[in-house]
A and B are shown apart, each in its own frame.
Chain A
């Protein structure tokens, strides 16, 4: 979002082309000849085309580009009539020539500290000190692959780590490294993958995010602080590389938003290296104001002929297969600046094919060229040198047979830095056509077809053979009694090997192999030479062309006329065609469970503006834009709120590495396309607190979302909801069930767990003191001393002490529950919620006195030792003790049956029905401090409601509609309709895939992409 000024700051370190300092072996080679390319169609840049143009180069630079002019002296002239000349392409996302990354040896024991020797970051994934240029060696084999598809320059960096260091911009000429380097430190690179590091932290996406943010703060502090401090080369490099273009490699569209958010916080505008799914959230992408580098690795069609196998391919994958080639088009249409990269292609040779596919789908050729030349050059701050055929720029250009974006055209030469690299012969003689081949006076017809580069020949001749009847008998001449003779056309394959203007031909007839060698004359009109017959005789031969090869008129590339499927939000099964909008809703004559003083009553319910506006008798509203629902026989309850959920979280519920990870935030990693959001809507859930797991005593910060299916991560969050953080106790945090190697992290006992808390809280108090001392300094004095280091982890813990953040603590046995309340009392804060709290019934009096609430399972127990004393009456007993009690799921499956879990409160411990229903509605709302607006049916509260077919506590009740903010997000009738539509949409795409396969396209086996369901993406054993 910030304009990046740093482009102005970029220091060009263009390294000279000659190597004057090197000793010479032999006579100095000083060829200063220039080259002239004449009569070509020259694409100076995407906007400017010169027909019949002239291009001169000298010493690796462009010295002239324009219309016909006087040729320079001493120049080599290349007639490029009919050819096109383009600037060579630039790829900003490669690891060309970069040292391979070796993973550190795997150990059974977890690795908590960095193994990197030297004064570097504490974390092995932070390595901004790595410079592409230092770990880079030329590799002509790999360079050739790039050159052959039109690239002249690549940006290379080691694709490893969260902060990956700088990249080098290098030309791909096959001369020495010294001459190829364009920019030695061209850009700084980042990702959300820790790569080769086996250090435990970060183990999750949210950990990677927190690590980058903390590194920003540390680098700033390191840079500004005047205090004596330890040397840290990583932080120095992190700061010094901030002035470069900042390129962020992300794994999906949501991570673009995540990276952008970090950038906003630290005033950096990243360039996003995406994966090609940007079209799915194009307006959000646009809103980042970021530029993009996108791949052309379009998925191959799946083998879907077998209907059983086809089931493994999700609609999401199918739709992506169909739409991915249109991604560049959508980016262009939305005026997003983007470059193209070869990254992600299995074979580099697929690049041009896919590029042309994208053009066919509607990417303009202008934009395609721009995205391969000017845009990447500008992104990297090298447009003064590269990216167009402008006077003075480096002589990097392609000579092609025609329009490079059209199928069938080829790249002949790739000139880099004034050096020629041949890709395919430019002056290749087209030998295709029909010839009369005369060998030793025997004339036969030779037809040469195929491509110009790979012609294939066929010799046809007549043969007189016996006539054979349909039955297979010989047909005899009734007069002679001898078999009838007929003429039969025969043909035989001929191999032709063309080498410039000489040709070798061989073929086999009945008598043996004929081998001929000769010359191609007169533009392939006449061939002649000598050859050897099967009998060994040498003979003369000629071939005279009778018909020229006719060029089939190619259809000009037009936008793919095939209609593409609809967009869905999210782009998957059960996604919306268009996001639903808020309307007024009147529910008539329903049994309304208000869970307020009004109790449960037969009433009408009016919703307007997303709020409940009236409960009671309401006249019909005639406003045509509103929805009237006949609620007769139906029950309406507040929407279910799940206090403990792990759905809709991307790449890790736990930052299960260090014992304290208060800095990580679930809110950073919300995954709005988790199908469980939709499934839980069908169970009446309207809001879920997404919690960090229970792998460490102080886990990460939670996020409260409403299940606004189809919306973006930020739109799912409940605005202004108070912050929560996850704590955990017991077996999980002391790693009891993690196997025998996870025995080295503190704490390993409940004794240690207490000390972790005290240490963290006391540290937070000291942190606060340090800052308040600093903040209270007079302005002048402040300038003299440096500010203390900001620490995101400690700040989150400090928020707890200052009642700005609430704790929900995974807890089982009474001793530890008691302990934590002692810690809280002595540190003077209140524990808001004990979650699970299976032995809460044993310390209910103490919880009551402390003021803690409980959020528990209905009836789980016996899954590990610490839950052996759990009882299903727990919720009821806590409730009877006047403790605010909720029942939660902690399980994506159970999450959609929470009403039934609540109903168990009636069975075990005798709750009233209303008390039971409160366990999953009003009570969790109270625990989450959102009961002012959620959790019950009350005028003025959010219209988060469920319409049930039956008493909501009954096993027979089904949610028929689930409403959030007055919007119907789930409707069972619509669901039934969608099931049919999903099948039809799949069938439509399956047909297309089969057609493509039958057309000869490469395909891939059907398989199920890795689970999008976070069943237990956790290091702990009970899905927390």
Chain B
């Protein structure tokens, strides 16, 4: 207990010392840390009511049930008693543009959308801004990892996985260039413009546009067949890893006919790893998705149904529908206000629990499920021995805004500064007005 109080003091001091500046990354983990007595939501679908979790050298080295194991506090350099608190693996923001956009309407701060149609060689990690003012406000709610993702064009570029505690993008990298992002053509097209939308009709050039994609893939496949002696083509070269299965193809697609075509596309090119992103209609083709081993990064579920007659809670229950059918899935926060809105990712997971998932499945939908889809589940996504010590403790249920209050967080064992400019601003004006 003494130790725990000590830690809180450390934290407070930490915050104060950083009062004016940008939050500095944490120091490398020194001694061992024991998180004791917390309710652990492991991310694997399981939980331990009273857990003992040991962190050492940036890794989780032990995960135990504190009730059935003998734990000697003096074996650890720091013991933090988190009784009545909850501990979670760091939440993962999949398909995110965090760090690529600072202020929505200011073009100069926008770095996620390159010009051109086919940009597989473009790499998001290059533009990732570790000093974004937004990121600290996100991790305050337990989101500690993101897949930094480019947008736009037909092939937007490749994404990387980063953690939210870094001096620069090299530091931030968990896994570089994990996948390539494809925007599948729309089967139905809307007329009008965003302010006065018109009818949505069958697109006249859907077939043509899908053929174009095939042509590009044909050329990429041919180019990468053998070591190329001729002149290099950076675009085709970047596609190579898709055919070997080293990289994943993320396909943004929503309508059921398009999803079917994407499944056929995967089979045609014998792509090992394809992930559907969005997938409003994915629940209608679950058997094919399962059969072809295609997971779904479900669209931001805090969204309105597409059709007036759709079940009013259809977006909310998409995860349940996929779960029931045995399709792999995870959640994301891709919508309006997505960068700063990412701090609400935990509550998106909370919603899935109100609409059919179990609590631990809800946790998994933004932890281990996501890590698996990104291919970083060896390092991240769950509280399991051998994984990175990227996890956090909340006073209450972190998936419910009513109770969420992150108390302490670790990224690779480093203690994360949970302060941000917003809470500083709040305190500043509270002081001004003499509020307490």
CB-based contact B426/A312 at 8 Å? no
Docked complex Cα distance between A278 and B203 (Å) = 33
Q: Which residues of A contact B351 (CB under 8 A)?
A: 955
B366 CB → nearest A CB, Å? 13
Q: Mark A728-771, 1 if CB is under 8 A from B, else 0.
A: 00010000110000000000000000000000000000000000
CB-based contact A956/B426 at 8 Å? no
CB-based contact B105/A863 at 8 Å? yes
Q: Mark B391-403, 1 if CB is under 8 A from A, else 0.
A: 0000000011110
A906-B401, A909-B426, A1007-B199 given; A679·B304 CB < 8 A = yes
Task: Tell me the nearest residue of chain B to A1018, going by C-beta.
Answer: B195
A871-B422, A893-B302, A1018-B195 given; A1007·B402 CB < 8 A = no
What secondary structure prevails in chain A residues at the interface with B?
loop
Known: A731-B105, A894-B302, A1008-B201. 4 other contacts (CB 8 A): A308-B257, A841-B425, A863-B336, A1015-B197
CB-based contact A907/B103 at 8 Å? no
A1019 at the interface (CB under 8 A from B): yes
Docked complex Cα distance between A573 and B425 (Å) = 47
Docked complex Cα distance between A1016 and B336 (Å) = 12
CB-based contact A679/B312 at 8 Å? yes
CB-based contact A1021/B201 at 8 Å? no
Q: Mark B424-436, 1 if CB is under 8 A from A, else 0.
A: 0110011001010
B226 at the interface (CB under 8 A from A): no
CB-based contact B308/A737 at 8 Å? no
Instruction: Write 7 A-B pairs (CB below 8 A) sorted by A numbering.
Output: A842-B429, A844-B433, A868-B103, A868-B133, A881-B433, A909-B426, A1008-B199
CB-based contact A1010/B401 at 8 Å? no
Docked complex Cα distance between A385 and B232 (Å) = 85
B221 at the interface (CB under 8 A from A): no
CB-based contact A877/B429 at 8 Å? yes
Complex partner residue of A316 from B102, B302, B304, B308, CB under 8 angstroms: B308
Q: Which among B14-22, B210-218, B340-348, B367-375 touches the partner chain? A: B340-348
A192 at the interface (CB under 8 A from B): no
Q: Mark B321-348, 1 if CB is under 8 A from A, else 0.
A: 0000000000000001101110110010
Docked complex Cα distance between A737 and B402 (Å) = 35
A721 CB → nearest B CB, Å? 27
Docked complex Cα distance between A986 and B198 (Å) = 23
Number of interface residues of B (CB under 8 A): 59
Task: Tell me the nearest residue of chain A to B304, going by C-beta.
Answer: A893
CB-based contact B192/A871 at 8 Å? no
CB-based contact A880/B435 at 8 Å? yes
Number of interface residues of A (CB under 8 A): 76
A859 at the interface (CB under 8 A from B): yes
A751 CB → nearest B CB, Å? 20
Docked complex Cα distance between A442 and B430 (Å) = 113
Q: Mark A977-1015, 1 if CB is under 8 A from B, else 0.
A: 001001000100000000000000000011111111101
Complex partner residue of B425 from A572, A871, A986, A1010, CB under 8 angstroms: A871
B405 CB → nearest A CB, Å? 6
CB-based contact A862/B304 at 8 Å? no
Docked complex Cα distance between A865 and B400 (Å) = 30
B354 at the interface (CB under 8 A from A): yes
Docked complex Cα distance between A859 and B420 (Å) = 14
CB-based contact B350/A1019 at 8 Å? no
B292 at the interface (CB under 8 A from A): no
CB-based contact B399/A862 at 8 Å? no
Task: Tell me the nearest residue of chain B to A861, going by C-beta.
Answer: B340
CB-based contact A860/B340 at 8 Å? yes
> Number of A-B pairs whose CB atoms are under 8 Å?
169
A1007-B199, A1016-B194 given; A955·B429 CB < 8 A = no
Docked complex Cα distance between A682 and B355 (Å) = 14
B404 at the interface (CB under 8 A from A): yes
Q: Which residues of A contact B354 (CB under 8 A)?
A: 955-958
B423 at the interface (CB under 8 A from A): yes
B1 at the interface (CB under 8 A from A): no
CB-based contact A314/B308 at 8 Å? yes
A678 at the interface (CB under 8 A from B): yes
A68 at the interface (CB under 8 A from B): no
Complex partner residue of B106 from A860, A865, A881, A1010, CB under 8 angstroms: A865
CB-based contact B429/A982 at 8 Å? no
Q: Which residues of A contact B200 (CB under 8 A)?
A: 312, 1007-1008, 1010
B229 at the interface (CB under 8 A from A): no
B353 at the interface (CB under 8 A from A): yes
Q: Mark A888-920, 1 if CB is under 8 A from B, else 0.
A: 000011100100100110111100010000000
CB-based contact A1012/B308 at 8 Å? yes
Q: Which residues of A contact B103 (CB under 8 A)?
A: 862-865, 868
A300 CB → nearest B CB, Å? 15
Docked complex Cα distance between A1013 and B339 (Å) = 24
CB-based contact A877/B435 at 8 Å? yes
A263 at the interface (CB under 8 A from B): no
Q: Which residues of B contact A311 (CB under 8 A)?
A: 307
Q: Which residues of B contact A864 (CB under 8 A)?
A: 103-106
Q: Which residues of B contact A868 (CB under 8 A)?
A: 103, 133
Complex partner residue of B405 from A871, A907, A956, CB under 8 angstroms: A907
A682-B312, A873-B423 given; A1005·B304 CB < 8 A = no
List residues of B (181-235) whose CB comes within 8 Å of A's CBs.
188, 191-192, 194-202
CB-based contact A954/B402 at 8 Å? yes
Task: Tell me the nearest residue of chain A to B192, going by C-beta.
Answer: A1010
Q: Which residues of B contact A676 (CB under 8 A)?
A: 304
B104 CB → nearest A CB, Å? 4
CB-based contact B304/A1013 at 8 Å? yes
Q: Which residues of A contact B77 (CB under 8 A)?
A: none
Task: Tell me the nearest residue of chain B to A952, going by C-beta.
Answer: B402
CB-based contact A308/B106 at 8 Å? no
B404 CB → nearest A CB, Å? 6
Q: Which residues of A contact B192 (CB under 8 A)?
A: 1010
CB-based contact A860/B337 at 8 Å? yes
CB-based contact B401/A1016 at 8 Å? no
A951 at the interface (CB under 8 A from B): yes
A871-B426, A955-B354 given; A862·B102 CB < 8 A = yes
Docked complex Cα distance between A772 and B430 (Å) = 48
Docked complex Cα distance between A743 and B430 (Å) = 39
Docked complex Cα distance between A864 and B340 (Å) = 11
A823 at the interface (CB under 8 A from B): no
Docked complex Cα distance between A245 and B202 (Å) = 43
Docked complex Cα distance between A901 and B146 (Å) = 24
A973 CB → nearest B CB, Å? 13
Docked complex Cα distance between A954 and B401 (Å) = 7
B256 at the interface (CB under 8 A from A): yes
A1017 at the interface (CB under 8 A from B): yes
A842-B429, A859-B343, A865-B106 given; A982·B401 CB < 8 A = no
CB-based contact A986/B422 at 8 Å? no
Task: Give the interface centre of A904, A1010, A1017, A1018 by most chain B CB atoms within 10 Å.
Answer: A1010
CB-based contact A312/B106 at 8 Å? no
CB-based contact A862/B339 at 8 Å? yes
Q: Which residues of A contact B202 (CB under 8 A)?
A: 309, 1005-1007
CB-based contact A1011/B197 at 8 Å? yes
Docked complex Cα distance between A979 and B312 (Å) = 9
Docked complex Cα distance between A871 and B191 (Å) = 37
CB-based contact B400/A841 at 8 Å? no
A629 at the interface (CB under 8 A from B): no
B133 CB → nearest A CB, Å? 8
Q: Which residues of B contact A402 (CB under 8 A)?
A: none
B311 at the interface (CB under 8 A from A): yes
List residues of A (848-885) whose CB comes within 8 Å of B's CBs.
859-865, 868-869, 871-873, 877, 880-881
Q: Which residues of B contact A1017 (CB under 8 A)?
A: 195-196
List residues of B (88-106) whose CB comes within 8 Å of A's CBs.
102-106
Docked complex Cα distance between A367 and B343 (Å) = 65
Task: Tell me the nearest residue of chain B to A575, going by C-beta.
Answer: B308
CB-based contact B340/A862 at 8 Å? yes
Task: Tell me the nearest residue of chain A to B201, going by C-beta.
Answer: A1007
Complex partner residue of B402 from A892, A951, A1012, CB under 8 angstroms: A951
Q: Which residues of B contact A572 (CB under 8 A)?
A: 308
